[in-house]
Amino acid sequence: MNGFIELKNVKKTYVVGEQKFNALDGVDLSINKGELVVVLGPSGAGKSTLLNLLGGMDKATSGTIMIGDKDIAKYNDKQLTAYRADDVGFIFQFYNIMPTLTVEENVNLIKDVTDTTKDAKDVLDSVGLLKHANKFPQELSGGEQQRVSIARAIMKSPKLLLCDEPTGALDSGTGVEVLKLLKKQSTDGETVIIVTHNALIAEIADRVIKIKNGKVVSNEHNNNPKNIDEVKW
């Protein structure tokens, strides 16, 4: 394996009472730079655990997690904080934006955690929200609020964009627009990983990873990803 992301024999074990539970159980994984990756699996399969480990929000029990030439599994808390701040963008099902701040102020929040940021107005323009820069979240639709969270995530040009059910709270038409923005980010060179229950999203992915019972059951490159408008949502 020689991808941008390399996981080797990664385990994440939780202890509940006297029982041990392997949320991830010896995961080996390779992902290339600039790929749009979809991770599929049933509830409890380990998808969110994988996302948390890649994002430095949790630590592996054992194994290596190479991001570029760095093994983040060996990072201490301070190193993980810096990694999350500088290298990773997060997008969630629920938008996690501040209701008392304007759109532009929400996007500029990222400047509190990292110096490597773009101009907020340029980023808002790229996601079609420049005209809403001075509005508050309650004045926006759900899709527009999700675009605010995307704008905030890409403000720092992250190496890795991690998305947990980013279209889960949206209707299909709005979800398509959000997916187009995420696809553009991968085309621009960012590695985008989407955890989802929606198997249709896999049709547009460069790579599809399926997880079951804490194990990767398949990791396949999609040689002919569909255009987003070709998928029958």
The answer to whether residues 186 and 209 touch, using CB atoms and an 8 Å cutoff, is no
pLDDT digit string (tens) for 39-95? 999 988 999 999 999 999 999 999 999 999 999 999 999 999 999 999 999 998 887
Backbone angles phi, psi at 34, to 5 degrees: 80, 10
Q: Range with the lowest mean pLDDT among 106-110, 123-127, 172-176, 224-228?
A: 172-176
pLDDT digit string (tens) for 140-168? 998 899 889 999 998 988 999 999 988 88
Helix (H) or strand (E) holding 89: strand 88-92
Answer whether residue 1 shows pLDDT above 60: no
Return the SS3 of 176.
Answer: helix
C-alpha to C-alpha distance for 228 and 233, rounded to whole angstroms: 9
